Amino acid sequence: MFITLEGIDGCGKSTQARLLAAALEHAGREVVLLREPGGVAISEQIRDILLDPANEAMSDACELLLYEAARAQVVHEVIAPALDAGSVVVCDRFFDSTTAYQGIAGGSAREDVDRANALAVSERVPDITFVFDIDPETAAARRSDRDGSPDRMEAKGLAFQEQVAEGFRTIAREEPQRVRLIDASQPVDAVFACMLAELARAGLPVDAADARAALLSVGA
Ligand code: TMP
């Protein structure tokens, strides 16, 4: 099973990805937890280029293709082999981020993004995707509590984040079978409970003891 978590910067999805991976591990499953862009050495190097605030001259096409290059590599090296081996793959962002950030909110045409996404993922489409929906101002406050200066993407500002959030809602409307929208303004454990309820409906139940163990081990 391939599970992806999406949302604007500061929506809390990385904490939820860690919780989900921990709960599934407690339940005895083989789990691979990854982040995008990144997850393997080549993709982490591409991530550094993408997020470096010094790279303000980066064109829209360069940005789109670098995200896709990072994705193609992590799919090839880890995601495809892990899925073939029967592991659960939990990915903190995947191709919906490119649709929302570079396509709907950014400067790339949707059809170019769709084609580039298809090339990068080579048919490894998530079984279920959670979009953590939150107001951009709340998310920005969370981010500034957490880390220092904004990276190149965060520096695009609040109006851009609002367009990205709307982009994710559009994707959720377009693909209701795969994509579930979750209210991420709730406390961490309530968001986690919503995600687990959706997963159970999708055929991957996690029992309450494993969920509690995950909350304790991640310290959320
Ligand atoms: P992260 O902070 O969630 O790890 O993501 C890094 C940044 O990259 C974040 O601002 C979102 C952005 N991003 C895109 O613009 N397009 C993509 O395809 C991905 C995966 C991330």
Q: Is the CB of 67 under 6 A from ligand 1?
A: yes
Give the pLDDT confidence score for residue 98 in this predicted structure. 98
CA dihedral sign, ordered 72, 76, 202, 12 = negative
93 ligand 1 Cβ < 6 A: yes
Whether the CB of 9 sits within 6 Å of ligand 1: yes
Residue 154 CA: which ligand 1 atom is closest? 10
pLDDT, tens digit (0-9, with 9 covering 90-100), for 17-76: 999 999 999 999 999 999 999 999 999 999 999 999 999 999 999 999 999 999 999 999
Rounded to the nearest 5°, which phi and psi values hold at 182? -125, 135
- pLDDT, position 149: 86
- The model's confidence at residue 139, banded by pLDDT at 50, 70 and 90, is very high
User: Interhelix angle for 110-121 vs 60-74, to 10°?
Assistant: 20
Measured CA angle at 56 (ends 55, 62), to 5 deg: 70
**pLDDT score of 148 more than 90:** no
Class of domain 2-218: alpha beta
Report which residue type is found at 100. Answer: A
Query: Which of 97, 113, 171 most suits a substitution to test ligand 1, by most atoms within 8 Å of the C-beta?
Result: 97
pLDDT at 141: 87
Centre of ligand 1 to C-alpha 97, Å, is 7
Distance CA 154, CA 67 (A): 15
Would the pLDDT of 146 be above 80? no
* Enclosing H/E stretch for 96: helix 95-98
Q: Which amino acid is at 91?
A: C
Contact of 214 with 191, CB cutoff 8 Å: no
Adjacent-strand bridge partners of 128: 3
pLDDT at 172: 98
Question: Which tens digit of pLDDT belongs to each residue from 153-210?
Answer: 999 999 999 999 999 999 999 999 999 999 999 999 999 999 999 999 999 999 999 9
Inter-CA distances, 107 with 52, 58, 163, Å: 19, 12, 12
Q: Is the pTM of this model over 0.85?
A: yes
Tell me the Cα Rg of the chain. Answer: 17
- Is 145 a residue whose pLDDT tops 80? no
CA 140-141-142 angle, to 5 degrees, is: 90
